[in-house]
Structure 1
């Protein structure tokens, strides 16, 4: 399946037409190439032929909702997905992250906050292209430029958000990493004591890593301190 890729392209998916016009114009004025779709099915079909650098996906849409679309798109799309959710919908936020979204932002949107989240997600590819190419911990090898991870001869599958967190922890293997530091450096916002984004991502990393019988890597929780990435040989 041939795909066209655009490094400045954003796919905005929401059934609220006035909203997409307003946000689309704001993003275009900020220098991005924006494509707009109004339901999950349209988003799925679009990403089969085109590869935007980032997808903004609303949860509540007719026909095919955002969660269903996100899960389907993740079968072939590895770029960042930012989900839109109404305020206080914690369940939707958690489920959205579990099906493969990288981050979420609440409605009503604050344009500057949206732009900051977009820039943070898009900045990752550039950061890793300039970083050390290979990180080795135990029998895990992480290749930053190609964004691939191997345990011995087995290739692991991670979303962009999971990969970023994995590299961050692996580069600090053997050292307890504070929760606040991860929020500041990886999630790019301050931990408020309630947010569960990091807990979900750590859980997903552990699940994927532990699926390989030969993997010696463990991500340990250090109570009241943070996380410890270790070779448990």
Structure 2
């Protein structure tokens, strides 16, 4: 059977790296392993992987910085491996441009599901150019470009996808389960706060007062609301 994709595994725990590599190879993936953060970019350029599994704590350069460097070069899926379940890793990792994250100890089937979902989401991309305009805000899906008040706003791949999803349903409250199904391919588990974190980040990016937001609202018990008429008029 041909390879389902090439995965770059960045992990300094050799025991963990060995079994993850063996498991993924058994599942018909090609795996390249790197054990230091400062080696990643050279290997990345040489092997051109389809997805990166990236540990947070690495010698040389930490995983967050590596994620930033990778994101400057490519929009490929990046799944971070973290031993911490607290908000710090979640916020920093997602803002650095990670596609998803997995908390250690890694469960093989859960990891495989995340990999398959990330790769399939990358493949499903509309060839038709789509653009949304709300007053001074313009969002172009094909180019992943956001312009607000004449200035381009740099957003990570995850933030852009989340903003596009909300904006495409402007004026409607979108529940968390719908967001998770659309963007992560799974149901909301009642605990994962990643999209709450990302909404806070979007508010910062667009100067939306978190105490009294006008552009991105959270409707308690229901979900998120992108306000169509809150973006001014040139």
Task: Structure 1: give runs of 5+ residues left out of the alignment.
Answer: 1-6, 212-216
Q: Kindly provide the CA deviation profile for residues 68-88 of structure 1, in whole angstroms up to 9, marking residues without a partner as x.
A: 322333333332211111264
Q: Kindly provide the CA deviation profile for residues 146-170 of structure 1, in whole angstroms up to 9, marking residues without a partner as x.
A: 4333447544322221222122112
Mean alpha-carbon deviation: is it higher for 120-129 or for 45-54? Answer: 45-54
Counterpart-to-counterpart distance in 1, 2:78 and 2:9: 10
Greater strand proportion: 1
On the 8 A contact 1:98/1:200 being kept in 2, the answer is no
1:183 pairs with 2:180:
yes
Distance change >3 Å, CA 95–CA 52, structure 1 → 2: same
Distance change >3 Å, CA 136–CA 90, structure 1 → 2: closer
* Count of matched residue pairs: 222
Counterpart-to-counterpart distance in 1, 2:89 and 2:123: 30
Across the aligned residues of Structure 1 and Structure 2, the Cα RMSD in angstroms comes to 2.8
Counterpart-to-counterpart distance in 1, 2:138 and 2:151: 10
Taking structure 1 as the reference length, what is the TM-score of the superposition? 0.80
SS in 1 for 2:72: coil
1:220 pairs with 2:188:
no
Match of 2:106 in 1: 109
Shift of 1:22: 2.1
Aligned ranges 1:36-55 → 2 under 5 Å? 36-48=33-45, 51-55=48-52
Task: Structure 2: give runs of 5+ residues left out of the alignment.
Answer: 209-213
Taking structure 2 as the reference length, what is the TM-score of the superposition? 0.80
Mean alpha-carbon deviation: is it higher for 96-105 or for 174-183? Answer: 96-105
